[in-house]
Amino acid sequence: MTATVAVAHASARRTRGRWTRFVLRRARRLLISLWILVTASFLMIQLVPGDPVRAALGTSAPAELVAARREQLGLDEPLLDQYLTYLRDLFTGDLGESILTQLSVAETIGQRLLATLSLALPAFVVTFAFAVPAGVALAVATRQGRRRRTELTFVGTSIVLASIPEFVVCVALVAVFAVNLGLVPAAGRDGLDSYVLPVLALAVGPAAVLARIVRVEMLAVLDADYVRTARAKRLSALRINLRHALPNAVTATLTLSGLMLATMVAGTVLVENVFAWPGLGGTIVSSIQSRDYPLVQGAVLVYGAIALTVNTLVDVAIAAIDPRSMIGDS
Amino acid sequence: MRRRRPEVLRTPLGIVGITLLVILALLAVLAPLVWGDRATATHTDNMLAGPSPEHWAGTDNLGRDILFRTLVATRLSIVLTLAATIFGVGLGLLLGMAPLLLPRRLGRLVVAFVNVLLGFPSLLMVLFLAVILGVSTTSALLAIGIAIAPPFARLVYALGAGVAERDFVAAARIAGVHPLRIMVRHVLPNIAEPLVVNATVTASSVLLAFGGLSFLGIGVQAPQFDWGRLMQDGLAIIYDNPLAALAPGVAFVLTGLALNLTGEAAAGTFGAKSRIRTTRSLTERRSVSPRSNTRDADTDLVLDVRDLEIAFPGPYGPVSPVRGVSIALRAGEAVGIVGESGSGKSMTALAVAQLVEEPGRVTAERLTFCATDLRSGRRTAHDALLGTSLAVVFQDPMTSLNPVMRLGSQLGEAARRHQGLTRRQASARAADRLRAVHLSDPERRLRQYPHEFSGGMRQRAMIAMGLMGTPRLIVADEPTTALDMTVQRQVLDLLQEIRRKHGTALLLISHDVSVVSSICERVLVMYAGRIVEDLPAADLYTQARHPYTRALIGAVPEMTTDLDAPLATIAGQPVDPRHVPDGCAFAARCPRVTDRCRQEEPTLQAGPAGTVACWHVGDPLPAETKEVAVG
């Protein structure tokens, strides 16, 4: 019996050690990814064909102004020096100045990022608040081929909804609620009611997809042996479904939620464009069009860093909830 | 025989998807030829008009017809989608196959590279590339292609690596076939199906990505127009003519829908599980037969089941895996049920434990547990009784415990619900029960998760879970089948010990005659949903009269069994519960079959030691039973 105990101790230690190693591995990958991101955003301005400053300021700009801006951006120095300067500035929070407006890129992005998050986070919450209960309820109601019609209606509706891209949702919402009914403003960020359409537009597609995934996961879990065990213990339906089944079903959902938050931040690019929202997405697009490269650099960097960090955090969170998820990851 | 339709066309949604795709393809080819001129003709006298008989969707700010523009834009939208998809999928194939072809170290580098790329959101990559390549249709195409490549590469690599380990690939490799040829001839054909399905789904996201870029003004540039471009133009005039933005939007939705539906139908992912079970009786509750037969109710009985029937609705009428089974158990008694898979023994156990779920229906002339009629009242009416007095031990301890809950809460929860214990009391009781099943260091075990336990330890924990109350009956469904030999013995000994100590009755389900005969007092032999023999375990080897029982006994290897000869099996297949024959169900496999057996079903009648359902119970036993049974 003592031998068994020792084995059990060792296995518990192994699990803990595995988790630490997993976190370290993920942290290393995150750092490498961030380094690639930083380097790529540094190289971006170098890779632009022709003179980026000339491209930004236009052919009619005086030569002295172009030269001054090139000087300011340090574009005439050796590449390695520029890279080191870029890294040093980055660590002090200095992302440079806009070629066009001379405003600090870090400050501009800071303001815009807040506006973007004020859309993405509520949309994220709305998505989950709808999708998880809906998916669970539908799984419980339609398991083992019960209520076939409800199931078909739901699957059909969610496929249709998920097929509609955000910008089409935006346009449709604007056409109906702003143009036709005049209930809420069509664009701008002004007061609570201006949030309604953009948040809805961001949440509809992901909510439909997520509800479907929660349902499928939940159906699989409800057929699991341990749920039968729970039923054999005569627990309440609520406890069987929520305490025994749901946590096993959300692992996949959580993986997805990371991607979903990332796509939501991505979705804001389009949604902000439709609603003239003063966010990061709108800034990226307009700065690409106006070739304001320092601003593009900064925006891509911040946006990429957020997405990478979110993905890593989600992976680590899943590993903590469900130790089995680390298996097969090397 | 008629040719089978492709999988995609077997579901209504798949048919709709394919039909839409065909229409789109026709539009892409024909629309620019037929309506090309009308889509670009400007009419300055008819700008920003709403819908009219001439212009069904109105006109834009140059008086161009919205409907025709949308139809004509089909070609460019689809061509760009296909081009970007083909480029991206091709790139993904290269990246995914590279690690399988390149030297090991280089291959790992490619995998790491793909993994890092996967972390970046695809829109970010598209925007990044759009900056470097400049704003144009071509750069958008390249950018989207490059962005979809990493996820596809990962899929190719994961699937390809799986196939590459199989024998036939190894054989080809040893035969000196060139790695590239192995890849193209042996690996790719085997993973083509999921790749095609995934490419379809990818195409739909490419369509949207391209539309998005055009909509943002960094994709297709005027005077060319795709749907995204049309939407951008339409948004500017949404207050004048909302249809200018909505018409191309509808086109997006229909195309996305067509691709998604086709992909889903091809993957067969939705509804696959429940497709088979369509029936009218889904809403029927378990029916309760009249409660008349109480005259010889025996109060000493822990479990009294008479004429148990279980029915599941099937496409050709109800299917009954259990047909008229009767079991009675006294306190402390151990009864075993043996039979092959599909004989209905596990179903019987589930019905006794009240775990048969809709759409299954359980009926019985009597179904009494601890003097309580389980057929009465609502489903939940007997929860407290069953939760404390009936313990169930399932076959596979690896899957029967919840992987995300600590053992302590899994043990304690039923006691808290049914016995009103506090968390602390439940925990103390759980520790005590773990000690009772001889698990060491119980306090620490309570804080552990199931994956930290071995199979035998988990089965002990399952038994401890049943002991949280004061069980009068333990239903154990193949409790040792998933365990190795030495652990089997320990678990059986534990069940025996509990039975002796607490006078608990045991209903042991097993396919293994030797397991049952070693710890039970009585053995019930089940075949095709019926009990065919019921006799004391002590008489099993000597007095069993049913040819099926004899065959089961004959199939058990003994110390003297000649290991070089094939192991004895029972000839023929078990009866399919959907097609139970008339007469004796075992007739088709029985060495002693006569015409009577095929026509008339035997009922249980007194035999030398118990009861037997066989017309030949009175005949002398053939000298060599085993020989006949070998198949």
Identify the pLDDT of residue B93. Answer: 92
Identify the pLDDT of residue B7. Answer: 57
User: Above pLDDT 70, what percent of chain B?
Assistant: 89
Q: Are residues B130 and B156 in the same domain?
A: yes
Q: Do A165 and B245 touch (CB under 8 A)?
A: no
Nearest residue of chain B to residue A243 (CA atoms): B405
Q: Are residues B269 and B296 in the same domain?
A: no
Identify the pLDDT of residue A325. Answer: 61
**Residue keyed to tokens 């997006």:** B252
CA angle B72, B77, B78 (to 5 degrees): 100
What DSSP element (H or E) covers B473?
strand B473-477
Dmax over CA atoms of chain A, in Å, equals 87
- Please give the structure tokens belonging to residue B578: 């959907």
Mutate: best of A168, A173, A250, A272, partner B, most B CBs <10 A: A168
- Which comes out higher in pLDDT, residue A53 or B281? A53
d(CA B239, CA B220): 24
User: How far is B271 from chain A, CA to nearest CA, in Å?
Assistant: 8
B578 φ, ψ (degrees, to nearest 5): -80, -20
HSE toward the beta carbon, residue B83, CA cutoff 13 A: 14
Chain B contact set for A270 (CB, 8 A): 212, 215-216
Chain B contact set for A213 (CB, 8 A): none
User: Above pLDDT 70, what percent of chain A?
Assistant: 90
Chain B contact set for A19 (CB, 8 A): none
pLDDT tens readout for residues B181-231: 887 777 888 888 788 878 887 888 898 888 888 988 888 887 888 899 998
Residues B375-383, mean pLDDT to the nearest whole number? 77
B377 phi-psi bin (left φ>0, alpha ψ -120 to 50, beta other)? left
Question: What is the gyration radius of the CA atoms in chain B, in angstroms?
Answer: 35
pLDDT tens readout for residues A54-84: 878 888 888 888 888 888 888 888 888 889 9
Residues A135-164, mean pLDDT to the nearest whole number? 82
pLDDT tens readout for residues A19-44: 788 889 889 889 988 998 999 889 88
B141 φ, ψ (degrees, to nearest 5): -65, -50
User: How far is A285 from chain B, CA to nearest CA, in Å?
Assistant: 7
> Is B115 inside any structural domain?
yes
Q: Are residues B474 and B559 in the same domain?
A: no
> Which sign does the torsion angle of CA A54, A58, A59, A63 carry?
negative
- Please give the structure tokens belonging to residue B331: 């306190």
Q: Do B132 and A44 touch (CB under 8 A)?
A: yes
Identify the pLDDT of residue B620. Answer: 67
**For B124, which of A15, A32, A303 is closest by C-beta distance?**
A303
Residue among B553, B551, B460 at smallest CA distance from B515: B553
pLDDT tens readout for residues B522-544: 999 999 888 999 989 888 888 88
Say if residue B2's pLDDT is above 80.
no
Chain B contact set for A155 (CB, 8 A): 270-271
Q: How many domains does chain B have?
A: 3
CA angle B509, B551, B595 (to 5 degrees): 115
Identify the pLDDT of residue A213. Answer: 83
Contact A253, A214 (CB under 8 A): yes
Chain B contact set for A224 (CB, 8 A): 399
| Cross-strand pairs, B309 | B323, B363
CA angle A308, A286, A101 (to 5 degrees): 105
Q: Are residues B71 and B41 in the same domain?
A: yes
d(CA B621, CA B544): 10
> Is B99 inside any structural domain?
yes
Q: Are residues B390 and B343 in the same domain?
A: yes
Give the long-range contacts of residues B283-286, CB within 8 A, separation 24 or more: B284/B359, B284/B361, B286/B358, B286/B361, B286/B362, B286/B363, B286/B379
How are beta strands B361-363 and B301-312 bridged, if at all?
A: antiparallel
Q: Do B274 and A151 touch (CB under 8 A)?
A: yes
Q: Do B359 and A145 touch (CB under 8 A)?
A: yes
pLDDT tens readout for residues B515-525: 888 889 999 99
The amino acid at residue A308 is L
Give B165's contacts (C-beta < 8 A, 6+ positions apart).
none
Which stretches within chain A are classed as H helix?
Answer: 2-47, 52-57, 63-73, 79-91, 105-142, 148-163, 166-173, 193-222, 225-232, 237-239, 246-275, 280-289, 293-321
d(CA B230, CA B237): 11
> Is B279 inside any structural domain?
no
Q: Are residues B311 and B230 in the same domain?
A: no
User: How far is A49 from chain B, CA to nearest CA, in Å?
Assistant: 7
Residues B434-461, mean pLDDT to the nearest whole number? 88
Chain B contact set for A247 (CB, 8 A): 404-405
Contact A274, A110 (CB under 8 A): no
Contact B334, B320 (CB under 8 A): no
The amino acid at residue B153 is A
DSSP B274: T
User: How far is B29 from chain A, CA to nearest CA, in Å?
Assistant: 24
User: How far is B209 from chain A, CA to nearest CA, in Å?
Assistant: 9
Identify the pLDDT of residue B285. Answer: 33
User: How far is B60 from chain A, CA to nearest CA, in Å?
Assistant: 16
pLDDT tens readout for residues A180-226: 787 777 777 777 888 888 999 888 888 888 888 888 888 888 888 89
d(CA A1, CA B509): 29
| CATH number of the domain where residue B418 is located | 3.40.50.300
Chain B contact set for A29 (CB, 8 A): 115-116, 119
The CA–CA distances, whole Å, from B207 to B79, B210, B252 equal 10, 5, 8
| CATH number of the domain where residue B220 is located | 1.10.3720.10
Nearest residue of chain B to residue A261 (CA atoms): B121
Q: Are residues B379 and B454 in the same domain?
A: yes
Confidence of residue B267 (pLDDT cuts 50, 70, 90): low
Across the A:B interface, residue pairs with CB atoms under 8 Å apart total: 231
Peptide bond into B359 cis (omega under 30): yes
> Is B351 inside any structural domain?
yes
Contact B397, B386 (CB under 8 A): no
**For A304, which of B124, B249, B413 is closest by C-beta distance?**
B124
What integer best gives the mean pLDDT of chain B? 81
d(CA B213, CA B135): 10
Say if residue B277's pLDDT is above 70.
no
> Is B358 inside any structural domain?
yes
Say if residue A264's pLDDT is above 90.
no
Q: Do B386 and A234 touch (CB under 8 A)?
A: yes
Contact B156, B89 (CB under 8 A): no
What DSSP element (H or E) covers B67?
helix B66-101
Which domain, by its residues, includes B441?
A: 291-520
Q: Are residues B384 and B269 in the same domain?
A: no
Mutate: best of B109, B127, B226, B419, partner A, most A CBs <10 A: B127
The amino acid at residue B146 is I
Give the long-range contacts of residues B377-381, CB within 8 A, separation 24 or more: B379/B286, B380/A234
Q: Do B274 and A148 touch (CB under 8 A)?
A: yes
Q: Do A171 and B246 touch (CB under 8 A)?
A: yes
Q: Worst-scoring range by mean pLDDT, A253-267, A297-311, B71-85?
A: A253-267
User: How far is A1 from chain B, CA to nearest CA, in Å?
Assistant: 7
Q: Are residues B510 and B551 in the same domain?
A: no
d(CA B518, CA B200): 59
Residue among B131, B476, B190 at smallest CA distance from A50: B131
d(CA B407, CA A201): 44
Confidence of residue B84 (pLDDT cuts 50, 70, 90): very high
Query: What SS3 state is found at A19?
Result: helix
Three-state SS letters, B194-243: HHHHHHHHHHHHHHHHHHHHHHHCCCCCCCCCCHHHHHHHHHHCCCCCCH
Q: Do A175 and B238 touch (CB under 8 A)?
A: yes
> Is B219 inside any structural domain?
yes
Chain B contact set for A241 (CB, 8 A): none
Q: Do B127 and A244 touch (CB under 8 A)?
A: no
Neighbours of B501 (CB within 10 A): 9
DSSP assignment of B33-44 equals: HHHHHHHH---T
User: How far is A262 from chain B, CA to nearest CA, in Å?
Assistant: 7
Nearest residue of chain A to residue B269 (CA atoms): A216
Nearest residue of chain B to residue A226 (CA atoms): B400
> Is B52 inside any structural domain?
no
Q: Do A274 and B235 touch (CB under 8 A)?
A: yes
Q: Are residues B267 and B400 in the same domain?
A: no
Identify the pLDDT of residue B279. Answer: 31
pLDDT tens readout for residues A96-146: 888 888 889 999 999 998 998 898 889 999 998 998 999 999 988 888 777
Identify the pLDDT of residue B523. Answer: 92
- Which comes out higher in pLDDT, residue B90 or B208? B90
Identify the pLDDT of residue B621. Answer: 64
- Which comes out higher in pLDDT, residue B475 or B404? B475
- Please give the structure tokens belonging to residue A88: 């040093």
d(CA B67, CA A70): 49
Chain A contact set for B394 (CB, 8 A): 225, 228-229, 232
B184 φ, ψ (degrees, to nearest 5): -75, -40
Of the residues B477, B495, B520, the one at which a domain ends: B520
Q: Are residues B264 and B353 in the same domain?
A: no
Contact B446, B431 (CB under 8 A): yes
Q: Are residues B512 and B572 in the same domain?
A: no
Give A176's contacts (C-beta < 8 A, 6+ positions apart).
none
> Is B53 inside any structural domain?
no
Reported ipTM: the value is 0.77
Confidence of residue B304 (pLDDT cuts 50, 70, 90): very high
User: Above pLDDT 90, what percent of chain B?
Assistant: 14
User: How far is A137 from chain B, CA to nearest CA, in Å?
Assistant: 16
Q: Worst-scoring range by mean pLDDT, B8-12, B172-176, B255-259, B396-400?
A: B8-12
The amino acid at residue A270 is L
d(CA B68, CA B54): 11
Instruction: Measure CA B77 to chain center.
Output: 39
Global confidence as pTM: 0.71
Buried b (16+ CB within 10 A) or exposed e, A233-264: bbbeeeebbebbbbbbbbbbbbbbbbbbbbbb
- Please give the structure tokens belonging to residue A68: 């001054």
d(CA A329, CA A21): 11
Q: Do A235 and B417 touch (CB under 8 A)?
A: yes
pLDDT tens readout for residues B386-403: 888 999 988 888 888 888
pLDDT tens readout for residues B237-256: 888 888 888 899 899 888 88
d(CA A9, CA A15): 10
> Which sign does the torsion angle of CA B110, B116, B119, B124 carry?
negative
Residues B598-616, mean pLDDT to the nearest whole number? 84
d(CA B154, CA B115): 8
DSSP B401: S
Mutate: best of A37, A234, A246, partner B, most B CBs <10 A: A234
Q: Do A145 and B215 touch (CB under 8 A)?
A: no
